A = this chain, B = another copy of it.
Amino acid sequence: MNNISTDMRPIGVFDSGVGGLTVLKSLMRSMPGENFLYLGDTARVPYGTKSADTIRSYSAGLASVLLHHDVKMIIIACNTASAHATDLVRDIASPVPVIGMIEPAAAAAIAASKRRNILVMGTQSTIRSACYDRAIHAINPSIAVRGVACQMLVALAEEGADPTWLSGDIAKSIITRYLAPYFTDPAMAPDTIILGCTHFPLLREAIASVVGPDVTLIENGGTIAAIVEPMMGQAVNAAPTISFMVTDAAERFAPLARTFLGRSIPLDAITHIDLNDYAAYSAVQNNEKEKTLCSI
């Protein structure tokens, strides 16, 4: 893959909802000259409690929407979708490159882990897929990998418009309940934890306070940005645009977006789309569909 920075098309980012905005935040910081188009499937969120078949079907639909909007790359900013649908999305998008969350975070965790003991926190569906176990063992089979499904942390992060949910005793109690069993035996305790859900960076401080300073926390945003940035080189857009598409109402996306992206998004930068429209357009090969999106 060569430098595609002279390509003015946006980088497409899709997620089941708002969590992927933590990844977009890292991408925007690393590549301030790139255009981004973010698609959140807020009408069907979350993916983390659903089956592999359903997640694959949904992910394929989202990728098609981004391709319809002529993106130069697709980033699957959702661990659950990455776990189940990266290959499928690559088939659909080829030759447009597709980057998932799993391998970059796995590689970063291997690099960080001194005692070769890694814990993966994720949604039920991500943990059940054992995607991180496979990705880590493909590089180093001798590393111990365990996974813990932390579904309550997704709900907790989404209450984060009131930040006391993210840092108070309730958050710490829930995190302790999920993680304590992995720290009972010091010889088996992980020294590296992959925050394998894009909601969890909002809880980073609370998680760090529970596990202590000797455990390294790996986030998707930073590891993805480190992979993508060298592919882009010098950005060429003098006035980059960031646009958002959502499948549920824009009005419901904006307040959560502030929590996850760390900045507010004006309503006119958020376009509500109906996936059925895209299916219909796709079916009739109609390339005339309105592609104009507002942006921030």
Question: A residues engaging B (CB < 8 A)?
Answer: 42-45, 49-51, 53-54, 151-152, 154-156, 158-159, 169-170, 173-174, 177, 247-249, 251-252
Count this chain's copies in the assembly. 2
Q: What would 23 A/B residue contacts be, using CB atoms closer than 8 Å?
A: A42-B50, A43-B44, A43-B50, A44-B44, A45-B49, A49-B158, A50-B248, A50-B249, A50-B252, A51-B249, A51-B252, A54-B247, A54-B248, A151-B155, A151-B159, A152-B155, A152-B156, A152-B159, A155-B156, A170-B170, A170-B173, A170-B177, A173-B173
CB pair B159 A170 closer than 8 Å = no
A-side interface mostly: helix
| Closest chain B CB from A1 CB (angstroms) | 34
With A and B bound together, what is the CA distance between A53 and B250 in angstroms?
Answer: 12
With A and B bound together, what is the CA distance between A251 and B173 in angstroms?
Answer: 30
CB pair B154 A249 closer than 8 Å = no
Q: Inside 8 A of A42's CB, which chain B residues have their CB?
A: 50
With A and B bound together, what is the CA distance between A43 and B47 in angstroms?
Answer: 8
With A and B bound together, what is the CA distance between A169 and B176 in angstroms?
Answer: 12
With A and B bound together, what is the CA distance between A44 and B54 in angstroms?
Answer: 10
With A and B bound together, what is the CA distance between A44 and B248 in angstroms?
Answer: 12
With A and B bound together, what is the CA distance between A53 and B158 in angstroms?
Answer: 21
With A and B bound together, what is the CA distance between A251 and B169 in angstroms?
Answer: 35
| Nearest residue, chain B, Cβ from A170 | B173
Q: Inside 8 A of A174's CB, which chain B residues have their CB?
A: 170
| Closest chain B CB from A95 CB (angstroms) | 29
Q: Inside 8 A of A156's CB, which chain B residues have their CB?
A: 152, 155
Q: Inside 8 A of A251's CB, which chain B residues have their CB?
A: 51
CB pair B51 A248 closer than 8 Å = yes
Q: Inside 8 A of A169's CB, which chain B residues have their CB?
A: 173
Given contacts A51-B249, A51-B252, A170-B170, 10 further A-B contacts (CB under 8 A): A43-B44, A43-B50, A43-B54, A44-B44, A49-B158, A49-B252, A50-B249, A51-B251, A54-B247, A173-B173
| Nearest residue, chain B, Cβ from A52 | B249
Q: Inside 8 A of A252's CB, which chain B residues have their CB?
A: 49-51
| Closest chain B CB from A167 CB (angstroms) | 13
| Nearest residue, chain B, Cβ from A247 | B54
| Closest chain B CB from A56 CB (angstroms) | 12
CB pair A53 B151 closer than 8 Å = no
Q: Inside 8 A of A54's CB, which chain B residues have their CB?
A: 43, 247-249
From B53, B154, B177, contact of A155 by CB (8 A): B154
| Nearest residue, chain B, Cβ from A43 | B54
| Closest chain B CB from A122 CB (angstroms) | 15
| Closest chain B CB from A280 CB (angstroms) | 12
Q: Inside 8 A of A49's CB, which chain B residues have their CB?
A: 45, 158, 252
